[in-house]
Amino acid sequence: MGTRMDDIIPISICIPCYNNPAGVKKLLDSILSQTFGTFECIITDDSADDRTKEVVKPFLADGRFTYVHNAKALGSPENWNYCASLAKGAYIKIMHHDDWFSRPNALQQLYDCAVQSPGCGFIACGCSNCDTEGKILDAAMPDKRFLARLAADRAELFYANALRTPSTTLIRRDLFKPFDPKLVWLVDLEQYMRILEATSLAFLPVSLVNVTASSPDQITRRCEYSLDVNLQEYVYVANILWGKSVPLRASLHMALVLARTLAANLYFLKAPIAMYALLPLSAGYWGAREVLKRALKWLTAEKQTP
């Protein structure tokens, strides 16, 4: 049974942060500029010093804002989970400390979408990738074909997390699932798939959030080209989804991801064989993806032929 949205605060904005006072300030300013004002904002701080606390202090005069400086750093994703656990709103809106709302009516648009899509407990929107100076690099938006495939099978996220960061999502609190602390690299897509097991997605095809995509200290940067992380986490998530019956497409995808990661490692390490290995491995990765895509398209068409 859904939560009555007139009984409680509509939206809880949850900001788990760590050592990024400037980013938190930019995010909080974007929250205060929202035309939708019926929210609570919870900041849980893993920082080792008081810089973020000092940035947040002026905002606490507004009763909608709450700040907690964790006595001991919880780390990621435990701090995300702790922040979400304090939420009282009908919907949880995670915002990472280096992301911010791109327009004043962003929350209003997300809330309106939730109200207009009562059967969907998972709302998501597009985003814009930005550099560390806030300059927009490009827009990130899943296409209609991906969204159609995702509506048919939540496991589509295993092959491409086109929904991106949790900052693009709004999730009904009674359907929200804690992030798995065993994961780092695939932690968001695994959570999305568990939530989509119980509800449907409503997607807003507009960029409402700016995402910092090139920060050198992001977890993404530390994990993307780690062979160990990619191997362990893809196998772990595949086991959750399919157990011992992993489909061929998933097996090929994992092999291709590892091949790409190996090629990137050879390049970054400047190994002697890198100049010989990088080109064929990269070409093989993208070539195999294209072959697989066309084969699956052909098989689907064959099944639909009377």
What is the mean pLDDT for each group of 10 consecutive residues in the chain (306 residues)? 59 98 98 98 98 98 98 96 98 98 98 97 97 89 95 94 96 98 95 97 98 69 77 93 90 85 66 48 55 56 53
Q: How far is residue 172's CA from residue 176's CA, in Å, rounded to a whole number? A: 6
CATH at 158: 3.90.550.10
Same domain, 62 and 178: yes
CB 49 within 8 A of CB 20: no
Number of domains the chain contains:
2
In a domain, 3, yes or no: no
- Of 215, 239, 266, which closes a domain? 215
Q: What is the pLDDT of residue 132?
A: 86
At 275 the pLDDT is: 44
Q: Are 224 and 209 contained in the same domain?
A: no
Q: What is the pLDDT of residue 257?
A: 84
- Determine contact, residues 205/126, Cβ cutoff 8 Å: yes
In the three-class reduction of DSSP (H, G, I as helix; E, B as strand; rest coil), residue 247 is classed as: coil
Please tell me the predicted confidence (pLDDT) of residue 213.
82
Please tell me whether residues 200 and 229 are part of one structural domain: no
SS3 98: coil
| Spatial CB neighbours of 175, under 8 Å, sequence gap ≥ 6 | 121, 122, 195, 198, 199
To the nearest 10 degrees (0 to 180), the angle between helices 187-195 and 227-242 is 10
- Regarding whether 50 and 22 lie in a shared domain, the answer is yes
Angle, CA 120 vertex, CA 117 and CA 126 arms, to 5°: 85
User: For residue 273, what pLDDT is reported?
Assistant: 46
